């Protein structure tokens, strides 16, 4: 596939969900034509993968800023001297569940959740550690018109409470964890976003919910909300909507939180895994 900038090559993954981009060195400043191409490709494919990009942290920050301003990352202590970079690190002997081991869209409990997350691999275990992505756009498209009509006006309730709240999984954790998680009363709060979100660039609709952060549906009883959400979660993670990313060292992926959810698979006990993560600020979901 050719692009406006004529230097990058794009290999779309099946069903147009995700694409591998090559021909670029992300360590170097990108021309505005390349930046525009990447913005267009990212909006189209939702997950962009770049191999062979052993970026320094400065270069990762610079590339992130070429996509947009940094997002806000609550509840996890950033790297020392790097307020916008998280290190996702799990030691070989660590017993705590790997970070991100539940389907979620990053920080969807914020008023303005991040549009993009960038994740760059530093140390990749020889087994396990894949990242799975679910396509909320095709999952929405394939629903019946009757169900779409029912979902369209609904607002889903999002909260960080199950993870970072005072009664959440991290508060109850007994195993030592390398990453510094900040449990907070703030995380017990909740807000609502449209259950069906319209992408601000493509205009495509997507299911904007996740089992980790979506805790109910506004105006419905707990039982009613959970029944609908349980159906939708199972629908979204059917194999046809999933892209499974197998990591190599020095690779980078950039995903669109506005129309996807993701899940970090474990399976690498006994091995070190180190990733560096940044986010790009987003807008109020509509």
Give the nearest distance from C-beta 90 to ligand SIN in angstroms. Answer: 9
Size of the site for ligand SIN (CB under 6 A): 9
280 binds ligand SIN (CB under 6 A): no
Here's the x/- map for ligand SIN, 54-93, by CB under 6 A: it reads as: ----------------------------------x-----
Give the nearest distance from C-beta 277 to ligand SIN in angstroms. Answer: 6
275 binds ligand SIN (CB under 6 A): yes
Here's the x/- map for ligand SIN, 126-165, by CB under 6 A: it reads as: -----x----------------------------------
- Residue showing tokens 């894949």: 130
- Sign of the CA dihedral running 101, 73, 155, 164: positive
Output 138 or 277, the one with its CB closest to ligand SIN.
277
Give the nearest distance from C-beta 246 to ligand SIN in angstroms. Answer: 11
CA distance between the termini of the chain: 31
Contact 247, 188 (CB under 8 A): no
Q: How far apart are CA 57 and CA 78, in angstroms?
A: 13
Output 161 or 262, the one with its CB closest to ligand SIN.
262
Nearest to 285 by CA among 107, 149, 133, 141: 107
Output 161 or 277, the one with its CB closest to ligand SIN.
277
Could you say which residues in the range 97-116 bind ligand SIN, by CB under 6 A?
99-100
264 binds ligand SIN (CB under 6 A): yes
Contact 262, 131 (CB under 8 A): yes
Q: How far apart are CA 241 and CA 164, in angstroms?
A: 28
3 binds ligand SIN (CB under 6 A): no
Give the nearest distance from C-beta 53 to ligand SIN in angstroms. Answer: 16
Name the E strands within the chain: 9-12, 19-22, 47-50, 86-90, 116-123, 131-135, 155-159, 190-194, 196-198, 205-207, 214-217, 242-245, 252-256, 260-264, 273-280
Could you say which residues in the range 178-217 bind ligand SIN, by CB under 6 A?
none
Output 109 or 228, the one with its CB closest to ligand SIN.
109
| Residues 6+ away with beta carbon under 8 Å from 222 | 216
Q: How far apart are CA 244 and CA 240, in angstroms?
A: 11
168 binds ligand SIN (CB under 6 A): no
The binding site for ligand SIN (CB under 6 A) comprises: 88, 99-100, 119, 131, 262, 264, 275, 277
């Amino acid at each position: 596939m050719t692009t406006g900038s004529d230097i990058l090559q794009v290999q779309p993954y099946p069903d147009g969900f995700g694409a591998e981009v090559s021909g670029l060195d992300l360590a170097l400043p990108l021309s505005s034509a390349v930046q525009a191409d990447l913005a267009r490709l990212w909006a189209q494919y939702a997950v962009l993968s770049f191999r062979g990009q052993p970026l320094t942290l400065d270069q990762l920050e610079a590339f992130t800023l070429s996509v947009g301003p940094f997002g806000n990352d609550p509840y996890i202590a950033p790297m020392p001297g790097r307020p916008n970079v998280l290190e996702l690190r799990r030691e070989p002997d660590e017993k705590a569940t790997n970070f991100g081991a539940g389907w979620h869209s990053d920080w969807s409990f914020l008023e303005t959740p991040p549009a993009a997350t960038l994740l760059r691999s530093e140390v990749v275990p020889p087994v396990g550690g894949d990242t799975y992505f679910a396509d909320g756009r095709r999952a929405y498209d394939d629903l019946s018109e009757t169900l779409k009509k029912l979902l369209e006006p609904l607002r889903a309730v999002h909260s960080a409470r199950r993870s970072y709240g005072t009664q959440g999984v991290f508060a109850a954790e007994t195993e030592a964890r390398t990453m510094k998680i900040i449990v907070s009363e703030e995380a017990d709060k909740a807000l609502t976003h449209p259950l069906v979100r319209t992408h601000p660039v493509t205009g495509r609709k997507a299911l904007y919910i996740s089992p980790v952060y979506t805790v109910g549906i506004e105006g419905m009883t707990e039982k009613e909300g959970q029944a609908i959400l349980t159906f939708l979660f199972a629908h979204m993670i059917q194999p046809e909507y999933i892209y499974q990313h197998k990591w190599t060292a020095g690779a980078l992926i950039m995903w669109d939180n506005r129309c996807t959810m993701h899940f970090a698979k474990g399976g690498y006990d006994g091995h070190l895994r180190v990733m560096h993560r940044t986010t790009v600020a987003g807008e109020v979901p509509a």
